[in-house]
Amino acid sequence: MTSITLAVPSKGRLEEMTRDWFAQRGLTITRPGGSRSYLGAIDGVPDVTVRFYPASEIARELMRGNIDLGVTGRDLIHETSESGPAAVDFAHDLGFGHADVVVAVPEAWIDVTHMHDLADVASDFRSRHGRWMRIATKYITITRQHFARAGIAEYRIVESLGATEAAPASGVADIVVDITSTGSTLAANGLRVLDDGVMLKSEANLIVSKVADWSQERRATLDALLARLGNRAWS
Amino acid sequence: MTNAAYRRSQLETLVEAQGGCRATPPLLLAAAPYFDLAGEEFGRRLLLTTDALGNEYCLRPDFTLPIAEDYIAEGTREPAAFSYLGPIFRQRENGPAEFDQAGIELLAQPDGDIALDQVLTFARAVLSLYGVTPNVRLGGVGLFEALLQQADMPDAWRSRIRHRFGHTAAMDRLLTRLEKSPEQPRSEQPSRDELIEDVTARMVSAGLSLSEGRTPAEIADRYLEQQALDAAHIPPATLKLLRDYLAIKGDALSALRQIEELGEKHKLFLGAPIRTIRRHLDGLGEARVSFDASFSPRLDYYTGIVFEMRGQGDTVLASGGQYDRLLERLGAKAPIAASGCALWVDRLEAEWPK
């Protein structure tokens, strides 16, 4: 078996930009069944099978080695598992999908500008309010890692699946960890990113699984593909 | 007969012989108390499951918490001793998530020193069943708290420094910040009332509740305190004391001597906590004992003395100590002394010479 699997985000802007990026490098990704189909191909490259997956599933499947390479956000690799970054190689920054995972507090918290302020607030939050400081986020793994590094243990995560920036106003949480590209949504919701509150700079990336089964033949197929992608002059 | 099954039955006997109650908490426990007690840091190690209503449960990740909760629920304040041996479950990167743990919990004992000795003796006895002469690492939570209480600094800094004890990187960052702390010209501060008004206006416009979480007064007060702290420097001599103290580690006797010298130099009364640590050294016999001034679990319910025992492979085989603030954290109405330890049975078995 020499063919390898490339996973591409299955919908929206991310799919479009990914296909554009490949096209600019002379590789046309086709999706014969239309947007409802999960199987595709690259014109003229028969030994690469294309699969369309949701971006978060691409991250997980890369870590499990079920797909060989794929396009997804760096944030999703870090979020899916702490060991995620160790299981993959980031082969190419694709130059789109830029966004930062940040810690933001209500603008009214004028006394909190840095993570170490947050550590102080968290440490006596429970004795003042009878509960832990609550952080709304969908980035649970990243939050835990980053807060552990900052020495903050006294908080609870409230998992948020949408509109995280509204959590403080709706009383669900005190602060948020959210993804933002310009910060405008956060600002519109009265939230301010801490001076040292950028936890992760993310963008779309072409990522190779380290744990997939890399026989010599499959490695050769991969190398040939990467060589074509690395060389912008190729056409 | 020296096979694994024999050692296991010896261990059973030793656990049974602890003269207390053999504790067998359920395998499935409510997850919330663990999150409440130990936060997300420990929470990520739990094996979680959910019932039909969305309530979260976890597979028993340790014995201490359910034992302490049961004791509180009983409502007695009588001295009690519990021992245990059985599986616990923790997430880890690879491999199975099930481990056997043995240990004891001594609650409301009249003499915390004697209780700790009992704990250390039990841990040593289990280790010797597996042929292990351990490297013991001691940490002094009580000692550090005594030093911090007496060191010359503005009061508000004490809790901030205490909070970082046991997290070397966070402590280092704080001390570095304090060492640099530039002389900022004090600008005219707005009054407390003005600040409260300002913060209230911001909260109202962002749709935040003024009472559910941090209140305007709390934010204004901390803001002013922070401004005052930036102006109220910790004397360089105190910062040096903290640096010097936290760097002390090594053979227990010489480490304690260094601490005594440091204490004398800075005119601190550390005699009582140092004597207490010395007394326990006698009971540790031929084990190699080191003292590490910066060593403490990250949970603030630990008090007094904490310890770790390691074997050949440098993995932690036993850990424990005194945690007099634990039962209050779990809802006890008054302080209840507690000490105990947990041993990793699978790692012990791996220490047995092949």
Contact A123 B213 (CB under 8 A): no
Task: Please write the tens of the pLDDT for every residue from B305-350.
Answer: 999 999 988 899 999 999 999 999 888 888 999 999 999 999 999 9
Query: Is the Cβ of A128 closer than 8 Å to some Cβ of chain B?
Result: yes
Query: Is the Cβ of B158 closer than 8 Å to some Cβ of chain A?
Result: no
Do the Cβ atoms of B244 and B266 come closer than 8 Å?
no
Distance from C-alpha of A230 to C-alpha of A91, rounded to nearest angstrom: 9
Task: Looking at the structure, give the CATH architecture of the domain made up of residues A4-97+203-230.
Answer: 3-Layer(aba) Sandwich (3.40)
- Taking residue A160's Cβ as centre, other Cβ atoms within 10 Å add up to 21
Ramachandran sector of residue B39 (left: φ over 0; alpha: ψ -120 to 50; beta: rest): left
Task: Please write the tens of the pLDDT for every residue from A131-150.
Answer: 899 999 999 999 999 999 99
Cα distance from B213 to chain A (closest Cα, Å)? 7
Contact A155 B39 (CB under 8 A): yes
- Domain assignment present for residue B224? The answer is yes
* Amino acid (one-letter) located at B92: R
- CB burial of residue B110 (10 Å; 0-12, 13-18, 19+): exposed
Mutation target vs A (from B34, B164, B214, B225; most A CBs, 10 A cutoff): B214
Do the Cβ atoms of A82 and A141 come closer than 8 Å?
yes
Indicate the pLDDT class of residue A235, thresholds 50, 70 and 90. Answer: very low
CB–CB contacts below 8 A, A to B:
103
Distances (CA, A) of B165 to A90, B162, B297: 37, 5, 9
Indicate the pLDDT class of residue A234, thresholds 50, 70 and 90. Answer: very low
Indicate the pLDDT class of residue B227, thresholds 50, 70 and 90. Answer: confident
Pairing label, strands B288-292, B249-251: antiparallel
Query: Is the Cβ of B218 closer than 8 Å to some Cβ of chain A?
Result: yes
Average pLDDT over residues B291-314: 92
Pair (B213, B101) in one structural domain: no
Pair (B4, B126) in one structural domain: yes
Which among B177, B213, B223 has CB closest to A111?
Answer: B223
Pair (B94, B25) in one structural domain: yes
Q: Which residue is closest to A131 within chain B, CA to CA?
A: B36
Indicate the pLDDT class of residue B2, thresholds 50, 70 and 90. Answer: low
Which among A151, A155, A171 has CB closest to B40?
Answer: A155
User: B231 Cβ partners below 8 Å, 6+ apart?
Assistant: B184, B186
Strands (E), chain B: 21-22, 28-30, 48-50, 56-59, 80-89, 98-107, 135-140, 249-251, 288-292, 303-310, 316-322, 338-344
Query: Is the Cβ of B99 closer than 8 Å to some Cβ of chain A?
Result: no
- Final residue of a structural domain among B206, B231, B256: B231
Do the Cβ atoms of A129 and A169 come closer than 8 Å?
no
- pTM (predicted TM-score): 0.78
pLDDT, residue B353, reads 76
For residue B169, list chain A residues with Cβ-Cβ distance below 8 A: 149, 151
Query: Is the Cβ of A147 closer than 8 Å to some Cβ of chain B?
Result: yes
Contact B222 A111 (CB under 8 A): yes
> What is the domain range of residue B348?
1-132+340-354
**pLDDT surpasses 90 at B261:** yes
pLDDT, residue A36, reads 81
**pLDDT surpasses 90 at B241:** yes
Task: Looking at the structure, give the CATH architecture of the domain made up of residues A99-202.
Answer: 3-Layer(aba) Sandwich (3.40)
Helix (H) or strand (E) holding A71: strand A69-73
Q: Which residue is closest to A123 within chain B, CA to CA?
A: B163
For residue B35, list chain A residues with Cβ-Cβ distance below 8 A: 132, 156
Q: Report the SS3 class of residue A97.
A: coil
pLDDT, residue B184, reads 57
Cα distance from A215 to chain B (closest Cα, Å)? 24
Domain range annotation of chain A? 4-97+203-230, 99-202
Radius of gyration of chain A (CA): 21
Q: Report the SS3 class of residue B211.
A: coil
Pair (B35, B114) in one structural domain: yes
Indicate the pLDDT class of residue A112, thresholds 50, 70 and 90. Answer: very high
Q: Which residue is closest to A127 within chain B, CA to CA?
A: B329
Q: Provide the edge-to-edge strand list for the sheet that holds B303-310.
A: B21-22, B80-89, B98-107, B338-344, B316-322, B303-310, B135-140, B288-292, B249-251
Q: Which residues make beta-bridge pairs with B306? A: B139, B321
For residue B93, list chain A residues with Cβ-Cβ distance below 8 A: 82-83
Helix (H) or strand (E) holding B328: helix B326-329
- Domain assignment present for residue B4? The answer is yes
Contact B219 A147 (CB under 8 A): no
- Domain assignment present for residue B6? The answer is yes
Indicate the pLDDT class of residue B226, thresholds 50, 70 and 90. Answer: confident
Indicate the pLDDT class of residue A232, thresholds 50, 70 and 90. Answer: very low
Distance from C-alpha of B147 to C-alpha of B72, rounded to nearest angstrom: 32
Contact B174 A109 (CB under 8 A): no
In degrees and rounded to multiples of 5, residue A208 shows phi and psi of -105, 135
Asked if the domains A4-97+203-230 and A99-202 are classified in one and the same CATH topology, the answer is yes
Query: Is the Cβ of A124 closer than 8 Å to some Cβ of chain B?
Result: yes
As for how many domains chain B has, the answer is 2
- Taking residue B296's Cβ as centre, other Cβ atoms within 10 Å add up to 19
pLDDT greater at residue A182 or residue B324:
B324
- Final residue of a structural domain among B208, B231, B254: B231
48-87 in B: which are within 8 Å (CB) of A? none
Pair (B107, B26) in one structural domain: yes
* Percentage of chain B exceeding pLDDT 70: 97
Instruction: Report the sign of the C-alpha dihedral through residues B327, B328, B334, B337, in that order.
Output: positive
Pairing label, strands B135-140, B288-292: parallel
Task: Please write the tens of the pLDDT for every residue from B13-69.
Answer: 999 888 789 999 999 999 989 988 888 878 888 999 999 888 899 999 999 999 999
Cα distance from A161 to chain B (closest Cα, Å)? 16
pLDDT, residue B354, reads 64
Distance from C-alpha of B123 to C-alpha of B305, rounded to nearest angstrom: 15
Pair (B13, B105) in one structural domain: yes
Contact B209 A171 (CB under 8 A): yes
What is the pLDDT of chain A when averaged over all its residues? 91
- Final residue of a structural domain among B231, B261, B290: B231
- CATH number reported for the structural domain that contains residue B96 in this entry: 3.30.930.10
pLDDT, residue B182, reads 61
Query: Is the Cβ of B40 closer than 8 Å to some Cβ of chain A?
Result: yes
Query: What is the interface pTM, i.e. ipTM, of the complex?
Result: 0.75
Instruction: Report the sign of the C-alpha dihedral through residues B146, B148, B154, B157, in that order.
Output: negative
Q: Which residue is closest to B202 within chain A, CA to CA?
A: A108
Contact A153 B208 (CB under 8 A): no
For residue A155, list chain B residues with Cβ-Cβ distance below 8 A: 39-40
**pLDDT surpasses 50 at A233:** no
Task: Please write the tens of the pLDDT for every residue from B154-208.
Answer: 887 898 899 899 989 889 998 998 888 665 555 667 888 989 998 998 898 888 8
Which among A110, A153, A191 has CB closest to B199?
Answer: A110
Task: Please write the tens of the pLDDT for every residue from A93-107.
Answer: 999 999 999 999 999
Q: Report the SS3 class of residue B278.
A: helix
What is the pLDDT of chain B when averaged over all its residues? 90
